[in-house]
A and B are shown apart, each in its own frame.
Chain A
Amino acid sequence: MHIDWSSFTPWPALAGGALIGLAAAAMALLLGRVAGISGILGGLLRPSPGESRWRLAFLIGLLLAPWLVRAAGAMPPLKIEASSGLLIVAGLLVGVGTRYGAGCTSGHGVCGLSRLSGRSLVATLVFMAAGFVTVALVRHGGVL
Chain B
Amino acid sequence: MNRIRILLAALASGLVFGLGLIVSGMVQPAKVLGFLDLLGAWDPSLALVMGGAIAVGLPTFAWAKRRQAGQQASLLGEPMRLPEARQIDRRLVLGSLLFGVGWGLAGLCPGPALVALGAGSGPAALFVLAMLGSMGLFEWLERRRRP
Asked if B117 and A26 make an inter-chain contact with CB atoms under 8 angstroms apart, the answer reads no
Count of B residues near A, CB < 8 Å?
118
Q: Mark A61-102, 1 if CB is under 8 A from B, else 0.
A: 111111111100001101111101011111111111111111
Cβ-neighbour of B21 out of A16, A54, A113 (below 8 A): A16
- Tell me which residues across on chain B come within 8 A of A131, comparing CB atoms: 36, 100-101, 103-104
With A26-B13, A94-B108, A136-B38 known to touch, is A88 a contact of B130 (CB < 8 Å)?
yes
Return B53 CB to nearest CB of chain A, in Å.
Answer: 4
In the complex, the answer to whether B136 meets A97 with C-beta atoms within 8 Å is no
Task: Give a binary string over B1-34; 1 marks a CB under 8 Å from any A CB, 0 the rest.
Answer: 0010011111111111111111111111111011
A142 proximal to B (CB < 8 A): no
Given known A54-B10, A115-B82, A135-B37, contact A20–B24 (CB-CB < 8 A): yes
B residues within 8 Å of A by Cβ?
Answer: 3, 6-31, 33-34, 36-46, 48-58, 60-61, 63-65, 67-68, 73-76, 78-83, 85-88, 91-111, 113-121, 123-124, 126-139
